[in-house]
Chain A
Amino acid sequence: MAFKIEIEETGETFPCAEGQTVLRGMAALGRRGIPVGCQGGGCGICRVEVLAGEYSARVMSRDHISKEDEQQGRVLACRITPVSDMRLRVLGPMKKAVCFTSMNKPATEAGSTLVNHSA
């Protein structure tokens, strides 16, 4: 059985089978929207806020998702499987992808020319 997942910012929707993680559902179809990181709950890159719908969740790194986050529907897309149709919001893109051109100064413009955004 497949549920419909909607990403609020882009209106992108995709089917996700129950038992499949929301992130995997998106990536397997080549869809975009939620950044794809370690896919195991450890890196925090795929942080989303669930706006509607039910899901079941596996353990997530407390470095990135506090108990309060989890209770309030802020979770990692790679660790949730849908139990109903869902709507979610992506909580920021690759915020940690900053490159430093000097000791302390971030320079994301420099980084963007070298990063393949479709990878």
Chain B
Amino acid sequence: MAMTGVLRPGHAQLRVLDIEESIAFYTDVLGLKAAGRDAQGRAYFKAWDEHDHASVILRQADHAGLDFFGFKVLDVATLDLLEKGLQAQGVKTERIPAGELMATGERVRFTVPTGHTLELYAHKERVGNGLGLVNPDAWPDDLKGMAVTRMDHCLLYGPDIDGTRSILEKALDFALVERVKLEDGETDLAIWLTTSTKAHDIAFVRHGEPGKLHHLAFKLDTWEQVLRAADIMSKNKVAIDIGPTRHGVTRGLTIYFFDPSGNRLETFCGGYDWYPDMDTIKWTWDEVGKGIFYHARQLNDRFLSVVS
């Protein structure tokens, strides 16, 4: 059975404090390709190995953070079906007209109990990854900076991650891949969900304030590229939170760092493949350090407190 329903994370709109400084950062340091500006002044970017128009949108605002996170779904029929599924779970949905976001069709927007705005869409303009579809080379000649391959996932902080998980599982067929339990052994502190064969497409940590962004993640192919990314961060005086290191959860090799507005980003590689017949992995409270930072085996001050 091929992938149906929700395919993958499609776009994230971030708030930045200085748009010109941020455009330079996302282009030169992260290596995203500029994909245009709209009438509102938003700046669009795509990672080099993505085929759709854009996956990262920047909006200048007086506070940092995530405006919304969108998933691409298989087709318009699926979009209609999933919208009904959300409504059946008691979730209020809103249709954003095609074209409100450049090169993007109609979006179904909804809010989850953690306070985050999520979206589903079926259409985004296909621009290609620059290699063509006939006898392609392995990578293009114009790569810059870290040259991340795709916008991969986000980790969001907010209350009621249980209610959010329930909606995503029941309405959108997301599966729970890994979880971290709190001291009581019952309550989830954190959950990692997939809609594909990736170890996670979205994750949540229980946190007092709603609607917060822990990080937006970008994919690299190898540990060598992750190390190179850390070198590029240092050359550009980028604030590194932690890494390069490994997560216990998902086994990903990772660096957490901050964009010029204080939004945390991640560049990572690895992680295992998930299939629907697999069971959920559990981390206990006493080993949460190992789960988050596998080598240090302890949390740092920033992991549970620094969010935008």
Contacts and interface: CB of A to CB of B under 8 A. Distances in A.
Interface string B59-81: 00011110000000000000000
A98 B307 CA distance: 13
A33 B163 CA distance: 38
Interface in B260-308: 260-264, 285, 288-289, 296, 298-302, 304-308
Looking at A37, A58, A97, which has the most chain B CB atoms within 10 Å of its CB? A37
Interface string A76-119: 00100000000000000010111111110011001100111101
A116 B49 CA distance: 37
B217 to A, nearest CB: 16
Contacts of A42: 17, 63-65, 258, 261-263, 308
Contacts of A11: none
A30 to B, nearest CB: 15
Looking at A78, A98, A100, which has the most chain B CB atoms within 10 Å of its CB? A100
B184 A101 contact: yes
Given A42-B263, A101-B187, A94 B17 contact: no
A44 B182 CA distance: 26
A39 interface: yes
B153 interface: no
Nearest to A97: B305
A28 to B, nearest CB: 11
A40 B300 CA distance: 18
B301 A40 contact: no
A78 B280 CA distance: 40
Looking at B189, B241, B262, B304, which has the most chain A CB atoms within 10 Å of its CB? B262
Contacts of A98: 208, 304
Nearest to B18: A59
A43 B299 contact: no
Contacts of A117: 301
A117 B299 CA distance: 9
B209 interface: yes
A68 interface: no
Interface string A10-47: 00000000000000000000000001111111110100
A38 B258 contact: yes
B307 A43 contact: yes
A101 B64 contact: no
Contacts of B262: 37-43, 61, 78
B173 interface: no
A40 B261 contact: yes
B206 interface: yes
A101 B182 contact: yes
B296 A96 contact: no
A104 to B, nearest CB: 9
A100 B296 CA distance: 22
Contacts of B307: 43, 96
A114 B301 contact: no
A115 B63 contact: no
B239 interface: yes
A87 B62 CA distance: 27
Given A41-B262, A96-B208, A116-B298, A102 B306 contact: no
13 contacts: A40-B64, A41-B17, A45-B305, A45-B306, A61-B62, A94-B301, A97-B301, A100-B187, A101-B187, A102-B187, A110-B183, A114-B289, A119-B302
Which 7 interchain pairs have the tightest Cβ spacing? A42-B262, A42-B64, A38-B262, A40-B262, A119-B300, A39-B239, A97-B305
Interface of A: 35-43, 45, 58-64, 78, 94, 96-103, 106-107, 110-111, 114-117, 119
Given A38-B239, A38-B263, A96-B208, 19 more contacts: A37-B306, A38-B241, A38-B262, A40-B64, A40-B258, A40-B259, A45-B306, A59-B62, A61-B63, A63-B308, A96-B209, A96-B307, A97-B301, A98-B208, A100-B206, A110-B183, A116-B301, A119-B242, A119-B301
